[in-house]
Amino acid sequence: MAEANAGHEVSYGDDLWTQRASDRIREIFERECEVFFVFNGTSANSLSLASLCQSYNSVLCHELAHVEMSECGAPEFFANGSKILLLKGANGKIDPAEIEPAVKKRTDIHYPKPRALSITQATEVGTVYSVAEVQRLAETARTFGLHLQMDGARFANAVAALGAAPADLTWRSGVDVLCFGGSKNGIALGEAVVFFDRELARDFDYRCKQGGQLASKMRFLSAPWLGMLKDGAWLRHAGHANEMAKRLEAGLRPIRGVQIVHPVQSNSVFARLPSSIEEKLRARGWHFYTGVITPDEARLMCSWDTTPEDVDDFVADVKELAG
Ligand SMILES: Cc1ncc(COP(=O)(O)O)c(C=O)c1O
């Protein structure tokens, strides 16, 4: 970002930084994909889903999905009323068997016609879909004429966890469009919307502009991607965050009264803590959500800059307060 701040550049994404960052993403995904940089994950999800749907369509997603739970209705708003339909599945992952009944529940003119499947990688509860699981979901989606969109706010964590090629986890498995997270992997702000099916990206630039997502000084959104994607920094940072979550899990698991709720596969630990200690932890300066995504679980997130000492200090406080 500091380098991009030197001199002048062409505006609205026609600059060299944006060109280079897009090319780097194409290299990483081994595909001539279309790339758009936007300010945040809500707009990336909403605008990409809007590009897959007409207003009378619906989007299938997991009942805990960010697009359902945490985007204030933005996907429905930007898609002019497309409806979100919810699927179940253990540990935040869609059970593929849920798709057919959801699609066939109603096929009459009075029901919003399913047109897209949205999956989150890594999921809202920190689990990851394997390549085979993505393929299975994509095959099922294809059977029913659904496009496949991936909310990859934490895609880097999933890639680092699985050690899979980004291409295998996305387009080679049938993903049409990926919202590739930047903010959660350490850059100041911004996400990349990556269309593997270029036809679906038609007029997406207009959608971005109308949705308030076309940055005039685009280079400040795109240039940091070059830093993040250089020399594998994105995977090192994500791998570090994942490692810290494993350390946190290992520290918390033996403590009496603490229950780890979901398999720890990326950078988050969902834990039931004795309710008597939550406020005391907060009083000591620890910040975490309880009850946002799931009813009574503390959502403990590790990031690229979480240190082993941070983790050990938290575990020591839980241990002491839990008696
Ligand atoms: C799964 C998921 N998708 C998308 C987002 C992006 O949201 P925002 O609009 O806050 O950047 C988040 C942020 O928490 C998320 O967890």
Tens-place pLDDT, residues 154-185:
999 999 999 999 999 999 999 999 999 999 99
Asked whether 120 lines ligand 1 (CB < 6 A), one says yes
Asked if 169 and 128 count as a contact pair (C-beta separation under 8 A), the reply is no
Q: What is the mean pLDDT of the chain?
A: 96
Residue 66 CB less than 6 A away from ligand 1: yes
The Å distance, Cα 40 to ligand 1 centre, comes to 7
Task: Indicate whether residue 124 lines ligand 1 (CB < 6 A).
Answer: yes
Q: Identify the band that residue 266 occupies on the pLDDT scale cut at 50, 70 and 90.
A: very high
Q: For residue 183, how far is its CA from the centre of ligand 1 (angstroms)?
A: 9
What pLDDT does residue 296 have? 83
CA of 122 to the centre of ligand 1 (A): 11
266 lines ligand 1 (CB under 6 A): no
Residue 85 has pLDDT above 80, yes or no: yes
The residues that bridge with 96 in the sheet, in sequence order, are: none
Question: Can you tell me the mean pLDDT for 186-208?
Answer: 96
Say how many Å lie between the CA of residue 131 and the centre of ligand 1.
22
- Mutate which of 37, 38, 42 for ligand 1? The one with the most ligand atoms within 8 Å of its CB, which is 42
Pairing of strands 83-87, 191-195: unpaired
Q: Is 267 in the pocket of ligand 1 (CB under 6 A)?
A: no
pLDDT at 163: 98
Residue 166 CA to residue 172 CA, distance in Å, equals 9
CA of 39, closest atom in ligand 1: 11
Q: What is the mean pLDDT of residues 1-28?
A: 96
User: Does the structure show a pLDDT above 80 at 233?
Assistant: yes
- Work out which ligand 1 atom sits closest to the CA atom of 191: 11
Please give the distance, rounded to the nearest whole angstrom, from the Cα atom of residue 151 to the centre of ligand 1. 8
Of 264, 249, 229, nearest in space to 122 by CA: 264
Whole-model pTM over 0.75: yes
Q: Residue 275 has what pLDDT?
A: 83
What type of residue sits at position 113? Answer: K
* Per-residue confidence band for 292, with pLDDT thresholds at 50, 70 and 90: confident
Q: Is the model's pLDDT at 256 over the cut of 90?
A: yes
Rounded CA-CA distance 179/216 in Å is 21
pLDDT, tens digit (0-9, with 9 covering 90-100), for 222-232: 999 999 999 99
- For the stretch 17-57, pLDDT in tens is 999 999 999 999 999 999 999 999 999 999 999 999 999 99
The predicted pLDDT at position 20 comes to: 98
Percent of all residues in the chain with a pLDDT value above 70, rounded to a whole number: 100
pLDDT computed for residue 323 by the predictor:
85
* Closest CA to ligand 1's atom 6: 41
Res. 294: pLDDT tops 80 = no
Please give the average per-residue pLDDT across 210-223, as a whole number: 97
Partners of 119 in the β-ladder: 150
- Between the CA of residue 179 and those of 96, 107, 214, what are the distances in Å? 21, 29, 16
Residue 276 binned pLDDT confidence (cut-offs 50, 70, 90) = confident
**What own/partner pairs with CB < 8 Å and gap ≥ 24 does 280-288 have?**
280/321, 281/314, 281/317, 281/318, 281/321, 284/317, 286/314, 286/317
pLDDT at residue 293, rounded to an integer? 74
* Predicted local distance difference test score (pLDDT) of residue 175: 98
